[in-house]
Chains A and B, each alone.
Chain A
């Protein structure tokens, strides 16, 4: 991630130094937040920043739980079914149940942005 300059850092909401650069793009987070509902009108500048860290925690937790399933099956490749199992086994991830049990994704092997 590029380091924010003195002015551009503030303007783009980026932070450097103590908390380090963000791992996830704030503009994208904001876009997803706005898409979550018609009623979402305005979002404070700090909300995406909180989310950038929250998503990091979320990814780590989901990955960790999925990996435990992988290990139980004595495999080294974490696959989609492992993620699905982790979701099923965790109450916290109830909101994901439909998502992980949908029909298989069409795999587009080209690089994503």
Chain B
């Protein structure tokens, strides 16, 4: 874990510097102290003069604690109190949960020789790992999100500008007309392919109609076949 890096580096450095005998506790100088090679574990076990382990938490590997606490409070009664160590523990559990699910989803992608983890993979992994009760509410959530994206792009009367995107190179760019993975199943305003969260559809449905069902709306920004909405709004 990264939190131990500082500690390990210090240890190895101290051990391999010749002349630094302090870490060898009470061992005599007649040992192989010149040109110490840190291969032998015998000394290591006796080296008690180690700096205390640096357990500085790297915050970017966890969800912000304030957000975690806020969610906890929503479910707890008003009078409930939460100890600090409970907050930290749950914060860690969330990250573990994400890693756990992602690992399984990623394995599936590798088996199927796909490079991108999709929302569908995530949902599949949850079902497989026992979180099947989450799958339905998450599917509803995801569909509502896609609807929001559809509405957003369809109601706007101006073109969506091409800009740097939050997800950068990790956008899954499906080729046009590729069959979408998710089928939302309802159409809005007729000219939208309801399966994707993309904007930028032409009225006659040609060009860029499918950007992959599980790609985000960001994918639409680099769609070459994009036409301004102005022509049919």
Contacts and interface: CB of A to CB of B under 8 A. Distances in A.
B138 A53 contact: yes
Contact of A60 (B71, B167, B170): B71
Given A15-B148, A33-B98, A55-B97, A24 B72 contact: no
Interface string B92-122: 1111111111110110001000011111011
Interface residues of B, number: 91
A26 B170 CA distance: 14
Chain A interface residue count: which class?
Answer: 35 or more
A83 B89 contact: yes
A50 B165 contact: no
Contacts of A53: 137-138, 141
Interface string A43-74: 11111011101111111101110110010000
Contacts of B142: 46, 49-50
B214 A46 contact: yes
Interface string A1-30: 000001101111101011100011111111
Q: Is the interface of A mostly helix, strand, loop or mixed?
A: helix
Given A76-B80, A108-B57, A26 B166 contact: yes
Given A59-B71, A77-B82, A80-B85, A19 B90 contact: no
11 contacts: A23-B71, A29-B98, A40-B117, A42-B172, A43-B116, A45-B219, A58-B97, A58-B134, A64-B75, A77-B82, A78-B80
Interface of A: 6-7, 9-13, 15, 17-19, 23-33, 35-37, 39-47, 49-51, 53-60, 62-64, 66-67, 70, 76-80, 82-84, 87, 91-92, 95-96, 99-100, 104-109, 112-113
